[in-house]
Structure 1
Amino acid sequence: MFWASYLLAALALVLAWPVPIALSRAKWPARSPFTAMVLWQAIALAGGLSMIGAMLTWGLEPLGNNLIDALRSLWGILVHREPATTLGLVHVFALSAAVLLSAHLIFTLLLTYYRIRRGRRRHRDMLSLLSSPSDTRPATLVINHPVPVAYCLPGGARSVTVLSDGLLEMLSDDELSAVLIHEKAHLAQHHHLLLWAFAAWRAALPWLPTSQLAQQSVNELIEMLADDEALRTVQPGTLIRAVAIVGTGGAAPAENLAVAEIRGTPLLGSPDEPEKIGTVHRLSRLLTPLPPLPAWQRAAVLILSGLLLAVPTTLLVAPGIV
């Protein structure tokens, strides 16, 4: 497993720096948001697996020629008190680092989930005081506020879409329909789970370009996916007007609600710069639509995503591969 640790470390380095930077600057994701979303998830998962795997294989290298055999030997040392003369200080350090990083990632994931759930409960309590159910639209709440606000609050069977009086006054019926379809697409496609995963990834490793760029890119991609769902029903011009009104109305986009809850962003605060840039990208994509990515290119990206996950897994478990 000696060379496997170096290969995993090299893969982790590539996925942590040049690859996310290149993908965040690429133009093709706007042509196939779903494919780009899959690739971002593969990069994040493969990067984390490679980081942990590099330290794990380095630490276990004296105990076996693959991860499974080495773990069996380690179990014998820990449980049956077998001699550990082959393990040096550097190996113990690498194993400790792998365990600590794994625990840190899992703990951050759970902590982020807890914070999101707590924030949503607090948010629902606030809505129960400040909103009223819509008379004509099921699972929709209306808040009394002049700023155009539209967002969804996930919660399984309790999921709701929240609109403001200001939005209802500014939008036509068709534009409002586009907004509602857009928000309901977020709920139907479970975009809040993606936001949770990438928010946790960034919270765990805020210094890592992968985590920062991935979160920003995923936020934009889920907006594009919801826009595409709305375009199945409404005309592009209708959606463009609705996006322009909501995106520039001074409301914090609730598509980023999970992230906003973690950061403590006010519900009706001004959008920060990345959110403004995301709205600009959405409008640009709607105003000058590009042809969809060819099927063979989408297939190639999906195959690449699968390989990104298969390579570190193979390096970890394949006996004597390197």
Structure 2
Amino acid sequence: MVSAALLTTIAVGCCIAAARLRRAEWPVRGPYVAVIAWQALGLAWGISTIGALLAFGLAPYGQGVFGGLIALAGDALSHDLYLSELAGTPFGASQVAAVVLAFGLTLVLFCGLVASFVQVVRVRRRHHDLLELVSRADPEVPGARILDHPAAAAYCLPGVLRSQVVISAGALEVLDSSELAAVIAHEHAHLRQRHDLVLLPFSSLKRAFPRVRVVETYYSAVALLIEMCADDQARRERSAKELAMALLRFGTKGSAAVPAGALAVTAGDQPDVVTRVSRLLNPAEALSRPAAAGVLLAALTLMSTTLALWHLPM
């Protein structure tokens, strides 16, 4: 039962840490490190929650989570699995329920991840095919396809074999050449670093728990950090002022809705746009290397400790 208690403590601690990270100010100064911290918290929460349920349910084996799962599978295959104390095994109803709940949660999370991936791939493929028909190349806008639409829009469609950056005619009307170049650099940063894959686990978590508002809040926090990461990459090629002005012009024009499966320079969320513009025009001191190393070490320790507890034979 010790491992069950420790894993439960980690799961609760991950929830508390996520709430504190959501309100913290330092992620704005180190978005890359903050995204890794979010990934570690999300993964550790899932592993520790499932592990705590399994550790409690499989406690009669006394072999830890991994050992208990192997023993459970062996008993099931040998048809020597009983679910009652009267039948000769110490499994109670609560322990059976814990194991069933653990497998159910695993199935929900896994199916959510697979369903999100399949849906995104399907939508992107359809959108790619549609763009071949309705968009056009423009020699004055290299690296992007032009979509004849009056609303201001700029987004990218990631892919393994084909990736595209799309700029609407409405965006070309409000952006000058330097601002347009900054926007394209931002979108190419999304494509190079595959930010869609970084965001996928959080979108699948939102899909698995659609009515849990806190999940939506954390998803939005990670999405904003990913946009900041792309902003930082774009600043290496263009000036921060150019990108900030582009964001403001999109806000003034009224940006179009982001297609499913795409990553846009702005999704029309005004508070987030204001945060990004303020960050670009008034850059704070970057997160120090010791602080970044401390966060990464904490994330590594959290993951290794959580996995090690699965082997604790108690």
Above 0.5 in TM-score?
A: yes
Using the alignment, how far apart are the partners of 1:169 and 1:56 within structure 2? 58
Structure 2 contact 147–168 (Cα < 8 Å) conserved: yes
Counterpart check, 1:258 vs 2:257 = no
3-state SS, counterpart of residue 155 of structure 2: strand
Amino acid at match of 1:113: F
Q: 5 Å matches for 1:2-13?
A: 2-13=1-12
Tell me how far 1:170 sits from its aligned partner: 1.8
User: What is the CA–CA distance in structure 2 between the aligned matches of 1:46 and 1:204, rounded to whole Å?
Assistant: 17
What residue in structure 2 maps to residue 172 of structure 1?
A: 176
Tell me the residue number matched to 1:289.
283
Offset at residue 64 of structure 1 (A): 1.9
Offset at 1:213? 2.9
2:57 corresponds to 1:59:
yes
Residue of 27, 30, 33 corresponding to 2:31: 33
**In structure 2, what is the equivalent of residue 150 of structure 1?**
154
Query: Alignment partner of 1:146: what SS?
Result: coil
Gap runs ≥5 in structure 1: 261-266
Q: Counterpart in 2 of 1:299?
A: 293
Shift of 1:318: 3.2
Secondary structure of 1:110's counterpart equals helix
Q: Deviations over 1:43-83 (max 9, x none)?
A: 00000111111111111000123223222321231011335
Choose 52-61 or 279-288, whichever is displaced more: 279-288
CA RMSD of aligned residues (A): 2.2
Task: State the shift of 1:214 in Å.
Answer: 2.5
- SS state at 1:54 partner: helix
Residue deviations 1:1-56 (CA, integer Å, cap 9, x gap):
x021122122212323x222211111100101000000000000000111111111
Distance 1:114 1:90 in 2: 36
Percent identical among aligned pairs is 36
Indicate the SS of the match to 1:47: helix
The question of whether the paired residues in 2 share the 8 Å contact of 1:64 and 1:73 is answered with no
Matches within 5 A, 1:64-213: 64-82=62-80, 84=82, 85-208=89-212, 211-213=215-217
- Rounded to whole Å, the distance in 2 between the matches of 1:298 and 1:169 is 41
**Structure 2 CA distance, aligned partners of 1:53 and 1:136?**
56
1:247 and 1:301 map into 2 onto residues whose CA distance is 34
CA contact (8 A) 1:66 1:318 kept: yes
Q: Could you tell me which amino acid in structure 2 is paired with residue 58 of structure 1?
A: F
Distance 1:303 1:37, change over 3 A: same
- Kept after mapping to 1: 8 A contact 2:156/2:262: no
TM-score w.r.t. structure 2 length?
A: 0.91
Deviations 1:210-269 (CA, angstroms, capped at 9, x unpaired): 632331111111111111111112222212111212344322464x84389xxxxxx9xx
Alpha-carbon shift at residue 124 of structure 1 (Å):
2.2
Contact 2:158 2:262 in 1 (8 A): no
Q: How far apart, in 1, do the equivalents of 2:44 and 2:252 lie?
A: 37
Kept in 2: contact 1:250–1:271 (CA 8 A): no
Unmatched tracts of structure 2, length 5 or more:
83-88
Q: 1:276 aligns with which of 270, 280, 289?
A: 270
Distance in 1, matches of 2:261 and 2:48, equals: 27
Q: In 2, are the aligned partners of 1:247 and 1:253 still within 8 Å (CA)? A: no
Give 2:43's aligned residue: 45
In structure 2, what is the Cα distance between the partners aligned to 1:196 and 1:83? 38
* Distance in 2 (alpha carbons) for counterparts of 1:156 and 1:25: 35
Question: TM-score if structure 1 supplies the norm length?
Answer: 0.88
Q: How many residues get paired?
A: 307
Residue type of the alignment partner of 2:10: L
| CA–CA separation in structure 2 for the residues paired with 1:45 and 1:134 | 43
* CA deviation string 1:117-152 (max 9, x = no partner): 222123223323321122344552101122221100
Change (3 A) 1:253 1:281: farther
Moved more, 145-154 or 54-63: 145-154
- Secondary structure at the aligned position of 2:237 is classed as coil
SS of residue in 2 equivalent to 1:291: coil
Q: Which whole-Å deviations, capped at 9, do the CAs of 1:131-190 have from their partners, x for residues lacking one?
A: 112234455210112222110011223100000112122212111110110000000000
